[in-house]
Amino acid sequence: MDVKLRHIRKEFDRYPALDDVSLDIHSGELIALLGPSGSGKTTLLRLIAGLDFPTEGTILFGGEDASCRTVQERHIGFVFQHYGLFRHMTVLSNVAFGLSVRPRKQRPDKAEIERRARELIDFVQLSDLENRYPHQLSGGQRQRVALARALAIEPTLLLLDEPFGALDAQVRRELRRWLRDIHERTRHTTVFVTHDQEEALELADRVVVMGKGEIEQVGSPDEIYDRPASEFVFRFVGDSSVLDVDVRGGELWFEGTATGLSTGEVPDGPAHLCFRPHDTSLIDSGAGISGIATEIRRIGGIWRATLHAGSGNASVEIDLPDAVRPKRGAQLTFRPRVFQLYPAAQR
């Protein structure tokens, strides 16, 4: 089912949690809502679900105004961070729940409900655990049960609100791949909320970056990472360093020194230079940006230096080549190989 959001505004006590949000969710896609805490992700999900209503704007389900449909009529499968499994019910009963509470006319018979619940439990790879209770499962297993329960009602739309948020890093990564695999097989239209950019980029067909109740950018993971539409997106997605610079006649200057970087068609004036630590090169001679190494540390397989650049308190991070291990206090000069410039006023 495709879902269209048109100029959605949501106010709580006259303060807008969402402001003029428009978005097309395509049938069969897995879309991630990515943004910091408080950016309005959960609010948007609740509006789509019909658990709450927009102050202004329209939500269309398959082209029809959804405002006249109840939560039940929207046939939405939910998974939240704190699973909300029924504690007194076994895995099997939890998964069967959605079907067993249907009005009599739409309810399959008992044997059929059990058959379908077992099939789903098998699908989420928990077959040998169907008689366990939630407290006898790990966090990751509980979230798999929660997903099976959401799938049982044959949802037209699947909404997942930080479903792996409470789990440790390794389990999160496993479940991410598992969910992607489930999605490839079922192709349910899915909206996945997360504040974890790595999760969004790895999992989603398209990513919606949200900041303060507005959409900052919608695009494929590559578009979001390689061509961030704003400084906000650049800084939120991936590691980033930012410096106050000046553009003069197509050249970049940092604190009165030419950096050797050309800007192309950017108007003269102050700007923010944004780059990623791994997109930098150290240089021995010639123009660049110089700084004093204040910290050098290992991040996984690479070494990263924090540089105090210029006379103010600007600090940037650069990754070091294998053979280079400068001492603290060493002066280093580098140049970003890839960078973006944003207007200074945005920050």
- Which one of Mg ion, ligand ADP, none is in contact with 224 (Cβ closer than 5 to 8 A by kind)? none
Q: Which is nearer to ligand ADP, 83 or 342 (CB)?
A: 83
Distance CA 85, CA 5 (A): 30
Q: Tell me the closest approach of the beta carbon of residue 13 to ligand ADP, in angstroms.
A: 6
Is 42 near Mg ion (CB under 5 A)? Answer: yes
Residue 326 is classified by DSSP as: P
Give me the residue label for tokens 């979001």. 224
- Residue 61 and residue 74 in contact, taking contact as beta carbons nearer than 8 Å: yes
Is 39 near Mg ion (CB under 5 A)? Answer: no
Amino acid letter at 11? E
Q: Tell me the closest approach of the beta carbon of residue 83 to ligand ADP, in angstroms.
A: 17
- Which one of Mg ion, ligand ADP, none is in contact with 197 (Cβ closer than 5 to 8 A by kind)? none
- Residue 176 and residue 17 in contact, taking contact as beta carbons nearer than 8 Å: no
Residues 21-60 touching ligand ADP, rule: CB under 6 A, are 35, 37-43
- Which one of ligand ADP, Mg ion, none is in contact with 94 (Cβ closer than 5 to 8 A by kind)? none
Q: Site size for ligand ADP, by CB under 6 A? A: 10
Distance CA 208, CA 217 (A): 6
What lies within 8 Å, CB to CB, of 219 at 6+ separation is 206, 207, 227, 229
Task: State CA 330 to chain mean position distance.
Answer: 37
Neighbours of 101 (CB within 10 A): 10
Q: Which is nearer to Mg ion, 39 or 156 (CB)?
A: 39
- Which one of Mg ion, ligand ADP, none is in contact with 38 (Cβ closer than 5 to 8 A by kind)? ligand ADP
Q: Which residue's CB comes closest to Mg ion? A: 42
Q: Which is nearer to Mg ion, 40 or 54 (CB)?
A: 40
Q: Which is nearer to ligand ADP, 82 or 116 (CB)?
A: 82
Q: Tell me the closest approach of the beta carbon of residue 10 to ligand ADP, in angstroms.
A: 8
In angstroms, what CA-CA distances link 231 with 90, 275, 344? 48, 10, 10
Interface residues toward ligand ADP, by CB under 6 A: 12, 17, 35, 37-43
